[in-house]
Amino acid sequence: MSTYKTIGFIGLGVMGEPICRNLVKKSGQRVLAFDLAPEPLARLRGEGAGIAASVADIVKQSDLLFLCLPSAKHVRSVFEGDGILKNIRAGQVVVDLGTSSVSQTRDFAKQLHAKDASWADAPIARTRQAAQDGTLSVMVGATPALYAAIEPLIRCFATDVTHCGDVGAGQVTKILNNMVLFETVNALSEAVAVAKRSGVDPKLLLDTLSKGSADSFALRNHGMKAIVPGVFPERAFSTEYALEDLSYALELAADAGLRIRGAELIGEVLREAIDAGSGGAYFPVIAKHIGKR
């Protein structure tokens, strides 16, 4: 990890703050943080992180820069203007931990390559607790040499790190992961709704399904911890963000000349939940709207 003496980190939200904290604790390197919210900056300063004054400042000071931002739009906002592209220097590396458009990812990588800098996509999967525990799953798109260089840092906050291929391949893999997750959560929501109307306890239903072929990570987490108790907090992975991630999957399918009707349908379900006022709630909130469709 000595290749990168100063690590920058932009985006200290629900996932970003604990990831940055693990880098501070485990990397052995100087870690600089930046976010628009002062509270996580204050917490991380107290734990040993340095604080950058702006995007330009953190780019200028970092050898490797992690981004953990909510969407492709947010990534573009720090890339353009007085941001990454303007201030990047030869040899620097940017690693995007968020889920983002594949076409944008490859475009940004091409622009950095022209400046002898590098871009890697390394979208994260699993829960907020996994971010805190340092047990995330990360899907990386990068050249083999760059993957080998950044993997030790990623393992400060992840236990499963997969090299999926060249730049963009990590995003493809994560986007399809999310597409399958959204469709699975919808199936669980429908099963719970039917069970309630048919006189079967939803918790018993999912407990029983977890012992058979319908078992899944989604069932044990999104089903048992959100859908059954009806807990859909704000500032978790929202319905609006889910719809945006799904749009990347539909874009990929269109580029491949495929129509994926299951994904189209879950897009309609997510949109209906947003229109009903649940855009900011944790996306399994779609369960609350079954029967109103």
Q: Which residues are catalytic?
A: 174
CA distance 205 to 116: 55
Q: Is the dihedral of CA 63, 69, 73, 74 positive or negative?
A: negative
CA distance 55 to 45: 17
Cβ atoms 221, 127 nearer than 8 A: yes
Structure token digits, residue 265: 């349908």
**Bridge partner residues of 32 (DSSP):** 8, 50
Structure token digits, residue 97: 């931990």
How crowded is the C-beta side of 163, counted as CA atoms within 13 Å?
13
